[in-house]
Amino acid sequence: MTSHHQGLGERIKMIRIKKGMTLEEFGKLILNANKSVVSKWENNLTVPNNERLLKIAEIGQVTVEYLVTGNPIDLPREKEINLKKQNTSLLLHEWKSLYYPDIKEFLEKQEVYYDKKRLNKEDKAIAINVLDYLFKDLTSNYPSDDKIEDEFKRMKKQSEILKQIKNNNNHAVKE
């Protein structure tokens, strides 16, 4: 995969997350791509064809140029700044859902199975009602958004430092 495609998967994923869609839902809008195909795009294993790139760009309200290269040259400066803020916000949202999952939100948004049987909306509503009843007396100890954001920023900074160390080690090995 060439280097200009490396961020394509991340930008596709950001568009999907921003729209609040599952892999399957997003794929249906992109000319009926199945969820494994969308996953391959997001993980930079494959690249959508031109027709699908156009559709993804349309849904994300970005240019195909920006989608493919990440080059905001076609974007007004204000939109570029807003996209960076949105990407950070989306990454934070994904961090929160990954490390601080809420069962109720999960049941409401995801395709869920119980004993290999898919739960429909009514089943999910019943499960939520049962859980609400069971846990009604729990006190809230969920971390504040500020605490989660601080943790996210620390982890992001550590990740950037590790990438820098890895790059420095790679250059040392090559020399």
Ordered by start, the domain boundaries in the chain are: 1-74, 144-175
Tokens 């000319």 correspond to 31
* CA dist., res. 39 & res. 24, Å (int): 9
pLDDT tens digits for 93-146?
777 777 777 888 888 877 888 899 989 999 999 999 999 888 888 877 778 888
* Four-way CATH pick for 1-74: 1.10.260.40, 2.40.30.170, 1.20.120.80, 3.60.70.12: 1.10.260.40
Residue 30, pLDDT > 90, answer yes
Residue ranges of alpha helices (H) inside the chain are 8-18, 23-29, 35-42, 50-60, 64-69, 77-99, 103-109, 121-134, 145-174
How many CA within 13 A on the CB side of residue 134?
Answer: 8
The model's pTM? 0.46
Give the whole-number percent of the chain exceeding pLDDT 90: 29
pLDDT tens digits for 72-99?
665 555 665 666 667 777 777 777 777 7
| pLDDT score at 12 | 94
Contact of 39 with 23, CB cutoff 8 Å: yes
| pLDDT score at 170 | 64
Contact of 59 with 15, CB cutoff 8 Å: yes
Residue 175, pLDDT > 60, answer no
Q: Choose among 111, 7, 8, 4: nearest CA to 56.
A: 8
